A and B are shown apart, each in its own frame.
Chain A
Amino acid sequence: MSNNNKKMREDVAASVLEKIKKGDVTPRPLWHFTLSNLALWASGIFFLIVGAISVSLIVLILDHGLWEEESLRGGGRVEHAFRLFPFFWLVAFLLFLFVAEYLLSYTKKAYRYSLSVIISVLFGVSVVCGLLLYIFGVSHTVDQRLGNSLPQYKMAGDRLGTVIHNPERGQFVGVIRVVSSNEEQILIYSRHDESKWRIDYSNAQFRPPHFKEQLRQGQHIIVKGVLEGNMIRAEHIAHPKLSERVRGNDKTRQKPGGQLRDQEIKRSNDQ
Chain B
Amino acid sequence: MPLEPSLEEQTDEELAKRVPTEVRAFEVIMRRYEDPLMRYIFRITNASRESAEDILQESFLKAYQNINSFDISLSFSSWIYRIVYNAVVSDWRKQKVRPEGNAVTIDDTFIDVIIAESDVVGEIDRTYLKSFLEKVLAEIDPKYRDVLVLRYLEEKDYKEIADILKKSMGTVSTLISRAKKALKKELEKERYNNTYTQEL
- Taking the closest CB of chain B, its distance from the CB of A54, in whole angstroms, is 28
Considering the complex, give the chain A residue whose CB is closest to the CB of B169: A112
- Bitwise interface map of A from 5 to 21 toward B, beta carbon under 8 Å scored 1, else 0: 10011011101110111
Given contacts A8-B49, A29-B68, contact A111 B38 (CB under 8 A): no
Contact B34 A30 (CB under 8 A): no
- Taking the closest CB of chain B, its distance from the CB of A91, in whole angstroms, is 29
Residues of A90-118 whose CB lies within 8 A of B:
108-109, 111-114, 117
Contacts of B64 in A (CB 8 A): 16, 20, 25, 27
Residues of B17-60 whose CB lies within 8 A of A:
19-20, 23, 26-27, 30-31, 34-35, 38, 49, 53, 56-57, 60
Contacts of A20 in B (CB 8 A): 23, 26, 64
Given contacts A13-B31, A16-B60, contact A33 B69 (CB under 8 A): yes
Given contacts A28-B68, A111-B166, contact A9 B34 (CB under 8 A): yes
A78 at the binding interface (Cβ < 8 Å): no
Q: Residue B23 contacts which of A5, A21, A112, A114 (CB distance < 8 angstroms)?
A: A21
Q: Provide the bound-state CA to CA distance between A16 and B26, in Å.
A: 10
Contacts of A28 in B (CB 8 A): 65-66, 68-69
Interface magnitude class on chain B: 20 to 34
A150 at the binding interface (Cβ < 8 Å): no
Which of A5, A12, A29, A109 has the most chain B CB atoms inside 10 A of its CB?
A12
Contacts of B170 in A (CB 8 A): 114
Contact A12 B35 (CB under 8 A): no
A-B contact count (CB 8 A): 70
Q: Provide the bound-state CA to CA distance between A13 and B195, in Å.
A: 51
Q: How many residues of A contact B (CB 8 A)?
A: 28
Contact A12 B53 (CB under 8 A): yes
B10 at the binding interface (Cβ < 8 Å): no
Q: Residue B19 contacts which of A9, A27, A32, A117 (CB distance < 8 angstroms)?
A: A27
Contact B71 A108 (CB under 8 A): yes
Q: Provide the bound-state CA to CA distance between A45 and B72, in Å.
A: 25
Contact A11 B61 (CB under 8 A): no
B129 at the binding interface (Cβ < 8 Å): no
B interface secondary structure, majority = helix
Considering the complex, give the chain B residue whose CB is closest to the CB of A21: B23
- Bitwise interface map of B from 168 to 180 toward A, beta carbon under 8 Å scored 1, else 0: 1111000000000
- Taking the closest CB of chain B, its distance from the CB of A34, in whole angstroms, is 9
Q: Residue A27 contacts which of B35, B57, B68 (CB distance < 8 angstroms)?
A: B68
Considering the complex, give the chain B residue whose CB is closest to the CB of A8: B53
Which of B31, B35, B61, B69 has the most chain A CB atoms inside 10 A of its CB?
B69
Q: Provide the bound-state CA to CA distance between A16 and B56, in Å.
A: 10
Contact A111 B167 (CB under 8 A): yes
Contacts of B38 in A (CB 8 A): 5, 9
Contact A17 B162 (CB under 8 A): no
- Taking the closest CB of chain A, its distance from the CB of B18, in whole angstroms, is 11
Given contacts A13-B27, A20-B26, contact A27 B34 (CB under 8 A): no
Contact B68 A12 (CB under 8 A): no
Residues of B127-184 whose CB lies within 8 A of A:
162, 166-171
- Taking the closest CB of chain B, its distance from the CB of A173, in whole angstroms, is 51
Considering the complex, give the chain A residue whose CB is closest to the CB of B159: A112
Contact A16 B168 (CB under 8 A): no
Contact A16 B61 (CB under 8 A): yes
Q: Provide the bound-state CA to CA distance between A17 and B60, in Å.
A: 10
B7 at the binding interface (Cβ < 8 Å): no
A26 at the binding interface (Cβ < 8 Å): yes
Q: Provide the bound-state CA to CA distance between A134 and B99, in Å.
A: 55
Name 11 A/B residue pairs within 8 A (Cβ), A-sorted.
A5-B38, A12-B30, A12-B56, A13-B60, A15-B57, A17-B23, A19-B61, A25-B64, A26-B65, A109-B73, A111-B166
Q: Which residues of B contact A (CB under 8 A)?
A: 19-20, 23, 26-27, 30-31, 34-35, 38, 49, 53, 56-57, 60-61, 64-69, 71, 73, 162, 166-171
Extra contacts besides A15-B57, A33-B66 (16): CB < 8 Å? A5-B38, A12-B30, A12-B60, A16-B60, A17-B30, A20-B64, A21-B23, A26-B65, A27-B19, A27-B67, A28-B68, A33-B68, A109-B71, A111-B167, A112-B162, A114-B170
Closest 7 CB pairs of A and B: A111-B166, A33-B69, A30-B68, A13-B30, A16-B60, A114-B168, A9-B34
